[in-house]
Structure 1
Amino acid sequence: MSGDRPGPDEPVVVVREETVVVVPVPADPAPAVPAPAPGPPEPAPVPGPPVPAPDLGPPTPPDPAELAAAAALAVPGVAGLYPGAFGEIGTHLPGRRVAGVRTRSGPDGRSTDVHVVARLGGDLRALAADVHRAVQAAVGGDVHVVVDDLVA
């Protein structure tokens, strides 16, 4: 668009009280494109030797954050893991993320924070203790359990 006036093939934009309305400019009808002429049929593919799958190496063992998440989700009464209001609670791994589990390693050992969503109707202290025991058995180190939300 040059200047204040649109060109003959540009849409007209009208702004009124913070509302943008785009009015399309009628275009010339497109010329008809002839269909391609039928040609000879394509030859059938010739079967060849099987292609071996790429070698991806040995499978990587699960990360402690993944083990902690699986252990917490296996506890009856846990509806899920809580990633935080903006997804700030999690552990970033190569190519993936474990939401609701934060792990840290320091000079005094490993620390794991597990944020859970509990099912309504149970004893929250008992649930937190069960999650603590399950995650402690799975990954060891210091384990901190936070019940962040309840669902029916």
Structure 2
Amino acid sequence: MTPTDAYLASSKVMDDLRKLNARFIDNFVTNDVASHDAMLHERFIGIRSDGSRIDRASYLEQWASGFDPDVIVYWDVRDELITLIGDVALVRATNKHVFRHDGHEETGMTTYTDTYLFEAGAWKCIQAQITPVAPSKGPADETIVSVYVNGVREERQSE
């Protein structure tokens, strides 16, 4: 068994992928382009909630200002589901958000699938896809993994 095979068969791999997902979200909330750039595969592509595709460079350019804590006053991660298939991982979760515009708040949810490839000893995201969630289909609050209020991560009892 190679070191890569041993790692992929270990229990450590799922913990690493959960941490990678948390880092992905934290990078978004903090607009951390450098950390996020290091996570992306050179052939990365994003698929937006409207179905359009975005290349790696454009995606990172938008990452620099994609989260404004004065507009996105609440953001959570819930219903995390990670599936490992060989050296590919599907990292899925749903985000609930509250956007504030001109004193009016709008609540919604999106679900995402981030596809990672384990290559040269590291996980690299090769695709990120966002899908809107109908209000009746959103996962329950009991599945919340992390919460950000006005861009600050709140400590949770289960963490």
Which TM bucket (shorter chain)?
A: under 0.3
- Indicate the structure whose relative CO is greater, using CA pairs within 8 Å and at least 6 residues apart: 2
Q: Which has the larger radius of gyration?
A: 1
Higher strand content, 1 or 2: 2
User: TM-score normalised to the size of structure 1?
Assistant: 0.23
User: TM-score normalised to the size of structure 2?
Assistant: 0.22
